[in-house]
Structure formats: structure tokens, C-alpha cells
């Protein structure tokens, strides 16, 4: 029996997933210094598994859904992208759902075939770009050691002419000397949104002081950007939390922020066809729900129940300064890394979010007058992606 039927049998309406990530392949044309994929190989997801991943997405009760292709480098698989995208859009039309399809790409490949796919399927593309040339090229090079910044920036400018959405993902490393300079350059390319991803080594070392200082630098840049440009930068993680604070403190609305997309909101399917509740587990090859073709419904049901019970009974949450802004979901990955048990509480995941929260509270305290009106006007209309 396929994943679709099994999933329907045990689906809990309180666990409404909005997104499925399909890890298309383990192949890539770059050799980035911080890559989490590990050993590159020619493994790619089968067409049958990819279609079942789409079926899994459309079992959701949600109206608006997202299908995300990641890798490796997804644009190395144009034929697979074409067939799976067509299949997903057909299902969306049949079930009267709204569907967005996104890609994370290094964008060193933007030939005519890829451009045609982007236009044909209205694909949203998130590009990995680490700021200015010297910063980006210090860690994002080809397998032959050649720099990539110039071709990526050239392709971003071409992409802007054919795509309705450009996102940029910037990995902020321990060694970065001028994050403000990097963010200034990234915003000059006029992306729809920016995602800042942090140095995994800082997180592993639990270097709270350095993490806080890094995020404060970004918060300072955020404030400077508003004052200089009279506009709000679409820095996703900060905008999401600012929106939660604004809704509660200005509008009086209680719309808690989710700390973790794994809490029933997202599934990830690996090139081998395994299903994970959190994409981080894919890199560990731990805690999967079995193959997509033989979905382990019992294991998933236990997982879903644990997430719900955790959010209701975790006593640590009652003492937290973010308690009224958070849905109190577990960081199943961070808990597992720290304790060996996804549902044994550790403050490490919460610490990461609390630093964001404190930075966002500080941003609001520092903008005044016309700048505050600009920020609040933006947040009033802002819809988290």
C-alpha cells in the first residue's frame, strides 16, 4: 500500500503539514566548505518515490501548500523536475489547492532548459549566495577549485527577468568579517526575501556569546536599513518574529510563532525514498518513518502524539520570557542531538530562538517616529512565507 492511503488512515487534523521537501539528489557541481550533504554521489530520487511525496503533500487539510526541491543541486535533474512539477500542478487543480514550487540552487546552472522550466512552472528559486565576491568565493567553489561568485551574480540578474520570486540564502560563518557589507550587497540584488543561515560550528560549540553578537550585528544592520532606505528588509527569520511581537503587543492578537517546521508542518523525502519529520535527520540518517512506499503509520502516529503532548506539558515553557509568543513545540532535532531523545527537553533549541526574540524586541525599541510607522505598516501587511 502506498504512502498516500496509509497517511490518510492515521492523519491527525491537528497536525496540518504545509510543505514537503523532496531531496532530489546527492550530486552537486560545487564543493562548498560547509556542505552538510556529505559524500556526493549519483543517487537521485526515483520518479515513483517523488510522485508519492507529492501525494503525501496533498493529503494535508491545508489549502495553501508548498513543494520544495533541494539537493545536492536540483537543477542537475531537469527532466525529473519537469515531470514531478506537472504531476503536482495537476493534483493541485484536481483538489482545488494553491501550490507553490520552490527550489534551493547554487544557480551556477541557468541554461535554456532550466530557464524554460522556471517560466513553464512558475518556479520560485532560492539562491545560495554568501555576500560579496571575496566572502562568497572563499567557501563556494567548484570541484576544480574555481570561484563561482561572478557566474552566480550574473545568473541572478538573468533570473530576475524570468522569475516572479528570487530568494537568497546567506550562510553567516564564524569567519565573516563584515556581515553588514554582505547584506548590503545581497539587498542590492532586490530579492523577495533573504534567509540568513548560521555557522553550524557555532551551534555545535554552543557559543552563545558569539551567536548573540552575530545576531545583534544583523539587528543593527536591520535598523540602519530602515533608517537609510525608509523600507523594511525582507529578512525572513527576523520579520517572522517581529510579526509575532507586533500582532500581540500592538494588535492584541495571539498568533504564536512556530520554532520548528518539523512539528507536523513539514516532511522531507530523501533520494533513497525515506520520509523524515525533520530534514536535519536526513543528514544523520536517523528517525525516519520508513520508505515512502511503506510508510510507518504507527511510528508517525506516536511522533504526532508526542509533539502535541510535549507542547501541553513542558514545564520549562511556563518560565520562559517568550512563552506568550511561541507554540511551545519541541526542536526534535536539537533535543535528539543533545539527549538522544527527540522529546527529552533541552534548552539549546530554545536558546537559539530566544536570541532572535531578544534581537527583535531590541529592533522595535530602537526605531522611532517615521521609521516605526514604516516598520509597523510593513508588519501589519506581512504574511510569513
Q: Tell me if 161 is assigned to some domain.
A: yes
Higher pLDDT, 351 or 82: 82
**Region of poorest pLDDT, from 86-100, 231-245, 349-363:** 349-363
With H, G, I as helix, E, B as strand and everything else as coil, classify residue 62.
coil
258-271 average pLDDT score: 74
- The per-residue pLDDT for 238 is 95
Please name the residue that has the C-alpha cell 507529492.
54
Q: Tell me if 385 is assigned to some domain.
A: no
Q: Tell me if 384 is assigned to some domain.
A: no
Work out whether strand 64-70 and strand 193-198 pair parallel, antiparallel, or are unpaired. unpaired
Q: Tell me if 317 is assigned to some domain.
A: yes
Of the chain, the end-to-end C-alpha distance in Å amounts to 33
- Order of strands across the sheet that contains 266-269: 193-198, 166-172, 124-128, 98-105, 64-70, 19-23, 266-269, 274-276, 288-291
Quote the cell numbers at residue 7.
Answer: 497517511
CB 357 within 8 A of CB 241: yes
Burial class (CB in 10 A: 0-12, 13-18, 19+), 253: exposed
pTM value is 0.90
- The per-residue pLDDT for 203 is 58
Over 50: is that where the pLDDT of 30 sits? yes
Q: Tell me if 269 is assigned to some domain.
A: yes
CB 82 within 8 A of CB 117: yes
CA 119 to chain centre: 23
Q: How many domains does the chain have?
A: 1
**Tens digits of per-residue pLDDT, 159-213?**
999 998 999 999 988 778 899 999 999 999 999 999 998 766 555 555 677 778 8
Question: Cβ–Cβ contacts within 10 Å for residue 32, how many?
Answer: 17
Over 70: is that where the pLDDT of 69 sits? yes
- The per-residue pLDDT for 84 is 98
Q: Tell me if 91 is assigned to some domain.
A: yes
28 is in which domain, residue-wise? 3-379
Q: Tell me if 375 is assigned to some domain.
A: yes
Q: Tell me if 192 is assigned to some domain.
A: yes
Assign residue 279 the CATH number of its domain: 3.20.20.70
Amino acid at each position: 500500500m502506498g504512502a498516500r492511503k496509509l497517511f490518510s488512515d492515521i492523519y491527525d487534523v491537528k497536525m496540518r503539514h504545509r510543505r514537503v521537501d523532496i531531496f532530489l539528489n546527492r550530486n552537486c557541481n560545487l564543493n562548498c566548505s560547509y556542505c552538510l550533504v556529505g559524500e556526493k554521489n549519483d543517487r537521485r530520487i526515483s520518479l515513483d518515490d517523488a510522485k508519492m511525496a507529492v501525494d503525501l503533500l496533498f493529503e494535508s487539510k491545508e489549502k495553501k501548500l508548498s513543494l520544495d526541491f533541494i539537493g545536492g543541486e536540483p537543477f542537475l535533474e531537469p527532466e525529473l523536475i519537469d515531470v514531478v512539477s506537472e504531476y503536482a500542478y495537476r493534483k493541485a487543480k484536481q483538489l482545488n489547492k494553491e501550490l507553490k514550487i520552490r527550489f534551493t540552487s547554487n544557480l551556477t546552472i541557468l541554461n535554456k532548459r532550466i530557464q524554460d522550466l522556471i517560466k513553464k512552472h512558475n518556479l520560485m528559486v532560492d539562491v545560495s549566495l554568501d555576500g560579496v565576491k571575496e566572502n562568497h568565493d572563499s567557501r563556494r567553489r567548484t570541484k576544480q577549485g574555481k570561484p563561482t561568485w561572478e557566474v552566480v551574480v550574473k545568473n541572478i540578474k538573468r533570473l530576475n527577468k524570468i522569475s516572479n520570486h528570487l530568494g537568497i540564502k546567506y550562510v553567516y560563518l564564524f569567519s565573516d568579517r563584515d556581515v553588514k557589507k554582505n547584506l548590503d550587497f545581497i539587498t542590492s540584488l532586490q530579492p523577495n526575501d533573504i534567509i540568513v543561515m548560521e555557522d553550524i560550528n557555532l551551534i555545535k560549540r554552543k557559543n552563545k556569546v558569539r551567536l548573540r553578537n552575530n545576531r545583534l550585528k544583523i539587528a543593527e544592520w536591520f535598523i540602519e536599513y530602515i533608517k537609510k532606505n525608509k523600507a523594511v528588509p525582507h529578512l525572513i527569520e527576523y520579520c517572522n518574529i517581529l510579526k509575532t511581537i507586533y500582532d500581540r503587543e500592538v494588535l492584541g492578537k495571539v498568533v504564536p510563532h512556530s520554532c520548528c517546521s518539523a512539528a507536523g508542518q513539514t516532511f522531507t523525502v530523501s533520494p533513497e525514498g525515506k520520509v523524515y519529520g525533520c530534514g536535519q535527520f536526513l543528514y544523520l540518517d536517523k528517525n525516519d518513518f520508513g520508505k515512502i512506499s511503506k510508510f510507518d503509520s504507527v511510528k508517525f502516529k506516536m511522533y504526532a502524539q508526542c509533539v502535541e503532548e510535549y507542547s501541553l506539558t513542558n514545564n520549562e515553557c511556563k518560565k520562559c520570557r517568550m512563552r506568550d509568543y511561541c507554540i511551545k513545540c519541541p526542536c526534535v532535532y536539537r533535543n535528539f542531538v543533545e539527549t538522544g531523545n527527540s522529546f527529552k527537553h533541552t534548552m539549546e533549541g530554545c536558546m537559539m530562538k530566544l536570541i532572535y526574540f531578544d534581537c527583535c524586541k531590541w529592533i522595535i525599541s530602537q526605531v522611532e517616529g517615521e521609521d516605526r510607522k514604516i516598520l509597523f505598516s510593513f508588519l501589519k501587511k506581512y504574511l510569513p512565507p
